[in-house]
């Protein structure tokens, strides 16, 4: 029996895996783009379309530690600015449209922190967006239900719960600032 697109993409990511580099990012992007071209008749993808899970682990690599998750999001869902600590992440939109804002963290002379929004590209079906360690972004589902894949170089949920390395931001008036909690 032949491999499906998910298995082929995972195999390609595993083969290209290594320390963060331009080459690793380019290879992972290519394999995620291939995943986005999967036929909706493949069992795993038709199940995602039918079930629309808010979060589903598709693959966890025991050797390299990376994860591939699928997320279904409804129009209007907003995730405030955050970073991924030491980790990096790639979002691949299979269907729908997601606005992904990027921010710079600015510190004032008194040690206060605020975010300045750089841009907010629309990531449409078939596109991949990359965030490297320290990059700050938010997401807003503009057209849903959206289905996106999230490839992370490590288990970010575990790392955040144990080492608290991720930074989340909160709005105070019109200014985004580091969450002090």
Residue 112's CATH number:
2.60.120.10
| Amino acid 63: pLDDT | 94
Range of the domain at 128: 51-178
Residue 30 lies in a domain: no
Q: Number of folded domains in the chain? A: 1
Residue 37 lies in a domain: no
Residue 35 lies in a domain: no
Element (H, E) at 96: strand 89-107
Residue 22 lies in a domain: no
Task: Please give the chain's pLDDT, 181 residues, in tens.
Answer: 458 999 999 999 999 999 999 999 999 999 999 999 999 999 999 999 999 999 999 999 999 999 999 999 999 999 999 888 788 999 999 999 999 999 999 887 787 888 999 999 999 999 999 999 989 999 999 998 999 999 998 766 766 566 566 777 778 877 877 776 5
Q: What is the dihedral of CA 50, 55, 58, 60, to 10 degrees?
A: -170
Residue 74 lies in a domain: yes
Residues with Cβ within 8 Å of 181's Cβ and at least 6 positions away in sequence, in order, are none
Residue 9 lies in a domain: no
Q: How far apart are CA 91 and CA 119, in angstroms?
A: 17
Residue 20 lies in a domain: no
């Amino acid at each position: 029996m032949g491999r499906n697109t998910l298995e082929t993409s995972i195999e390609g990511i595993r083969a290209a895996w290594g320390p963060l580099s331009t080459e690793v990012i380019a290879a992972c992007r290519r394999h995620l783009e291939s995943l986005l071209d999967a036929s909706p008749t493949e069992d795993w993808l038709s199940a995602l379309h039918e079930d629309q899970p808010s979060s589903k682990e598709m693959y966890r690599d025991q050797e390299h530690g990376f994860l591939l998750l699928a997320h279904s999001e409804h129009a209007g869902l907003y995730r405030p600015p955050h970073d991924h600590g030491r980790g990096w992440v790639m979002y691949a939109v299979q269907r729908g449209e997601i606005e992904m804002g990027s921010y710079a963290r600015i510190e004032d002379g008194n040690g206060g922190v605020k975010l300045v929004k750089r841009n907010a590209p629309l990531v449409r079906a078939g596109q991949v967006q990359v965030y490297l360690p320290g990059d700050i972004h938010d997401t807003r589902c503009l057209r849903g239900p959206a289905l996106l894949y999230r490839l992370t170089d490590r288990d970010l949920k575990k790392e955040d719960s144990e080492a608290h390395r991720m930074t989340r931001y909160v709005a105070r008036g019109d200014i985004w600032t580091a969450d002090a909690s």
